[in-house]
Amino acid sequence: MSDRTTLVQIEDLTVKFPGNPAISHVNLTVERGEILGIVGESGSGKSVTALTLMGLLADDAQICSGQILFDGQVMAQAGRAQDKALYRRYQGARMSMIFQEPMTSLNPTGKVGAQVEEMLLLHTDLPKEERRRKVCERFAAVGLKSPEILYGCYPHQLSGGMRQRVMIAMATILHPDLLVADEPTTALDVTIQNQVIALLKEINEREKNAMIFITHDLNLARRICDRILVMQNGQVVESGRTEAIFEHPQEAYTKRLIAAVPKRKRGEEAVVTQQPPVVEVAHLNVFYPKQKTGFFKKNEKQLVVSDANFVIRQGETLGLVGESGCGKSSLSKAILGMNRDITGEVRHASVRPQMIFQDPYSSLNPAKTVEWLLTEPLRAAAARDDAWKMTADKRRELVCEMLRKIGMDESYLHRKPSQLSGGQRQRISIGQALITRPALVIADEPVSALDVTLQAQVMDLMKKLQREMGVAYLFISHDINVVYRMSDRIMVMKDGRIIEQGETKQIFEAPQEAYTKLLLAES
């Protein structure tokens, strides 16, 4: 049935959750030693496929057709109850998984060493000392320093990158035949992302295990995978060797996905005119209160942004790139006036800037309707400034106008955020920010939580609104490609300092700083 080289064979697999099918008639094979990429947007069924293979589906999910073979052994089959005991023998030992969220995938109350050791406890008879030694060895093998100390650490004491390394150590400690990595780097910074990808690739080459790499990021899939499987709406759209998929995509959907990847090519040239500035920042230092270190010592401050100098001009987009923790958000808070512990100068040309946040799921009040959410900034403005006082009818008119501008219509007025898709929610956030016609909008990673195609749509919308309304954007992102696509000028930030700024073209073609070159090389 299966030859020597085939490790996983999924045949005609259909999985249903109560009510709706999650994946239908999926076929795939994984050869020993290869990396198979499963690419698709969220909701395309890529995670469900992996979870079904791993035997981790929720109890209410049901396999309606097909079967899963692992190394010739039937693991799951339609119409048969899941053999939990069989799966428990295989899980961890022969097939293991790395999850997307390193922040939440480890037990917060368990020491990381013990959590990795649990694998050995479950699947081997090694004595305690031996187990501990192996765990430390494994920590070292995945590039974690001082494993002995790390063994006794709790997850919250580690950075995201370290936690993901711990997860990888855990998943590979028993040298499984199959490693399933579900968006393992999505939650990480670019540089960390690259280290983790390199590590996974290295493990694959060293141990010759098969890997399923699930991602929405085509660039990433291209770099690591031997073969790629494209999924959409629970079905396999296309599969083939990586180069073949990228160079000669057959299906329209695949072509669209590839086209949506932000490339370093700008459609339109930047309008370089000397518009008046909407905000001028001079010698800005931003501080954060630090935890008291001694009982009688005074509160100390930590300098998080030092000596920032820049202007944002009317109608332009200034991109701000840097890793998390570099001070991007602190800088934006200082400009917004949310952090007043600053020295230096922030001069606004007009009223307060508005803000678009990263997470469209949690930044909208779930109890309110779209209409309420969009009128809220108007009410707030009216409370500050009599010029914004208006009748309820007038408000509704403005809201409807804004809805049309953001590509929605009146029919959404009474919906709540839970009845909107992620893209629609982010449109509402944008509408909220723009409805009071601010001169400047600060967008903090506005597309990072979205799929590639949605990302492209939201960025296009933001540009369209900029042309129509003449608003300036401070566009913050860790993704240099996204920034490239949006910005007229770019600032690069590292450790609280703006290390480089200039025209987008100039930054990309002739970066001056080593760090900028690194960022460009890694994306």
Partner 1 sequence: MAYQSIRLFGKKIITLIMTLFLVSVAAFLAFQIIPGDVVTAILGTEATPEREEQLREELGLNDPPLVRYTHWIGGVLKGDFGRSYRYSKSMNEMMPVAELIGDKLPVTLWLAVLSVLLIIVVSIPLGVFWVRSKNRILDAVLNVLTQTTMAVPSFFLGILVTYFFGMVLKWFTPGGYVSYRDDFAGFLRYLIFPAISVALPKIAMTARFLRNSMLTEQSQDYVRTARSKGCSSRRIMYGHVLRNALMPVITFLGMIIAEIVAGSIVVEQVFGLPGVGRLLISSISNRDFPVVEILILYITAVVIIVYFWVDMLYRVINPQISKQ
Where does residue 168 rank: exposed (0-12), middle (13-18), buried (19+ CB within 10 A)?
buried
Out of 80, 88, 290, 389, which residue is the one contacting partner 1 (CB under 8 A)? 88
Report the residue count for the chain: 523
Q: Which stretch binds partner 1 (CB under 8 A): 6-14, 119-127, 331-339, 344-352?
A: 119-127
Verify binding: residue 122, partner 1, rule CB under 8 A: yes
Instruction: Give the nearer residue to partner 1 in terms of CB position, either 123 or 165.
Output: 123
Q: Which stretch binds partner 1 (CB under 8 A): 91-99, 220-228, 267-275, 300-308?
A: 91-99
Q: State the Cα–Cα distance between residues 355 and 280, nearest whole angstrom.
A: 17
Out of 18, 19, 108, 267, which residue is the one contacting partner 1 (CB under 8 A)? 108
| Shortest Å distance, C-beta 153 to partner 1 | 9
Residue 25: in which H helix or E strand, if any?
Answer: strand 21-31
- Touching partner 1, residues 140-159 (CB under 8 A): 154, 156-157
**Cβ contacts of 285 within 8 Å, gap of 6 or more:** 303, 305, 306, 307, 308, 342, 343, 344
Instruction: Give the nearer residue to partner 1 in terms of CB position, either 89 or 384.
Output: 89
458-492: burial string, b at 16+ Cβ within 10 Å, e else = bbebbbebbeeeebbbbbbbbbbbbbbbbbbbbbb
Verify binding: residue 288, partner 1, rule CB under 8 A: no
Out of 10, 15, 26, 97, which residue is the one contacting partner 1 (CB under 8 A)? 97
Q: Which of 467, 37, 93 is nearest to 231 (CA)?
A: 37
Which DSSP symbol is given to 48?
A: H
Q: Which of 194, 176, 184, 218 is nearest to 89 (CA)?
A: 176
Q: Which stretch binds partner 1 (CB under 8 A): 12-20, 87-95, 278-286, 305-313?
A: 87-95
Verify binding: residue 93, partner 1, rule CB under 8 A: yes
Verify binding: residue 99, partner 1, rule CB under 8 A: yes
Verify binding: residue 167, partner 1, rule CB under 8 A: yes
Q: State the Cα–Cα distance between residues 32 and 239, nearest whole angstrom.
A: 17
Can you name the residues that pair with 490 across neighbouring β-strands? Answer: 319, 502
Out of 32, 56, 82, 266, which residue is the one contacting partner 1 (CB under 8 A)? 56
Instruction: Give the nearer residue to partner 1 in terms of CB position, either 118 or 226.
Output: 118
Residue 218 tokens, joined: 């085509």
Verify binding: residue 8, partner 1, rule CB under 8 A: no
| Shortest Å distance, C-beta 449 to partner 1 | 17
Verify binding: residue 291, partner 1, rule CB under 8 A: yes
408 to 295, 402, 405, 424, 427: CA distances (angstroms)? 56, 9, 7, 8, 8
Out of 17, 27, 80, 89, which residue is the one contacting partner 1 (CB under 8 A)? 89
Verify binding: residue 343, partner 1, rule CB under 8 A: no
Verify binding: residue 321, partner 1, rule CB under 8 A: no
Residue 375 tokens, joined: 């009128």
Verify binding: residue 104, partner 1, rule CB under 8 A: yes
Verify binding: residue 92, partner 1, rule CB under 8 A: yes
CB < 8 Å & 24+ apart, contacts of 261-268: 261/218, 261/219, 261/452, 261/481, 262/455, 262/456, 262/479, 262/481, 262/482, 262/484, 262/485, 263/481, 263/485, 264/481, 264/484, 264/508, 266/484, 266/485, 266/504, 266/505
Q: Which stretch binds partner 1 (CB under 8 A): 116-124, 409-417, 443-451, 498-506?
A: 116-124
Residue 165 tokens, joined: 């390394």
426 within 8 A of 448, measured Cβ to Cβ? no
Phi, psi of 398 (to 5 degrees): -60, -40
Placement of tokens 């799929």 in the chain:
451
| Shortest Å distance, C-beta 157 to partner 1 | 7
- Touching partner 1, residues 169-228 (CB under 8 A): 170
Instruction: Give the nearer residue to partner 1 in terms of CB position, either 79 or 108.
Output: 108
| Shortest Å distance, C-beta 202 to partner 1 | 22
Phi, psi of 163 (to 5 degrees): -65, -40
Q: How many residues bind partner 1 (CB under 8 A)?
A: 31
Q: Which stretch binds partner 1 (CB under 8 A): 88-96, 238-246, 419-427, 446-454?
A: 88-96
Residues that bind partner 1 (CB under 8 A): 54, 56, 87-93, 96-97, 99, 101, 104-110, 118-119, 122-123, 154, 156-157, 167, 170, 291, 295
